Structure 1
Amino acid sequence: MLPYVIFAALLVLWCTLHSVLATDCCKGRIGRLFDLHGRHYRLFYNLFSLATLLPLLFWGWTLPGPVLLTWDGTGRLLRTLLWLVAAVFIVGGCRRYDLTGFAGLTDPAGEGDGSDKLVTSGILGIVRHPWYTAAFIVLWARDLDLPALLVSAVFSLYLVIGARLEERRLVEEFGEAYRRYRSQVPMFIPWKWPLHLIRRGR
């Protein structure tokens, strides 16, 4: 049992560190210390996150554990359909986000010049966080042993907390426009979209 406790604690530690490194305070201090600013800090942030997460996930993969959930029979078909839905949300997000800026390969469009615009078209008109929706599906639409369940549970909680913190920043940046968008479009589950299609069909 102790390895699972340590594994879960390290997952929580990674999520905490990942969030702290994304704060403006930490960006400023590390940026001044190592001369990392803008896209250079974003690139460091992404590489550091991967370099610390992948070994942790590999260790979890090697841990033995009882199988708690399997997708058998018709469940496999449902799982495949869910993966297709996740792919739609991933691709839809890729078409709306600045991928090179997100990766730290270029400066994000509009950063620092006051020209940032609130994008609400495409998949962002269905859910506010399409990549998070896809992540939830990937985390849970799979066979789960105990280590995998710990990963899914910890990262699901992290995504919810992270989304709420991100939305605070977006409200500060876009004000009433984002509040209106938030009231019209769900966070993760596209439950309003079918209702919108029904109304349009009348």
Structure 2
Amino acid sequence: MYLLLTDILTCPRCGPEFGLILLADRIEERRVLSGRLGCANCREQYAVEDGFGVLGSGWSSEPRQPDDEAVVRMAALLGITEGPGFVLLVGDAAVHAEALAGLVPNLEVIAASDTAAAWQERAGVSRIGIGRNLPFPARSLRGVVLTGDAASELLEQSARSLAPMARLVLEDAPEDAAQRLETEGLRILAQQGDTVVAVRG
């Protein structure tokens, strides 16, 4: 986990107004390899084990080789050509985290997938487990990609976490996605099949 990511992580239990405090046991090359993230409000502690932040569970990604064409498409839909900043990939999208980090210079890609706990730590990719509450404050992310059930369940929270001009990409978007995104103040940029791309103005 990238050290600077811990500056923006919030308590999944208390909500985005309550930041977490890092109690690190081991840090190498600005990567947190072991330690805890503590909430001063509820006193809950979330473990960091082998670089993987355990802030919840419930989203996984199918083990498969990342597709170069899919990664280029994802970067194009996100509209990001360089960092710095954080991009969140939830569910099956997380399998593209390493390739996306390699494609976009200075970008830190957050792979939110229980499956990512088994991956090796590497620069440019922060691996976390999350539940149904996103551990990010408002306007903190440069982009979010949601796949599967996450495209519906995490839509509103993801919209609120977007920085100005950041994009939310929904794969397997629900039928009412456009209406829900507009309610959150986002503008629809593209819609094709079950893929929807929206931007915060």
Q: Which has the higher helix share?
A: 1
Q: TM-score, normalised by structure 2?
A: 0.26
TM-score normalized with structure 1 length:
0.26
Larger Rg: 1
**More relative contact order in 1 or in 2 (CA 8 Å, sep 6+)?**
1
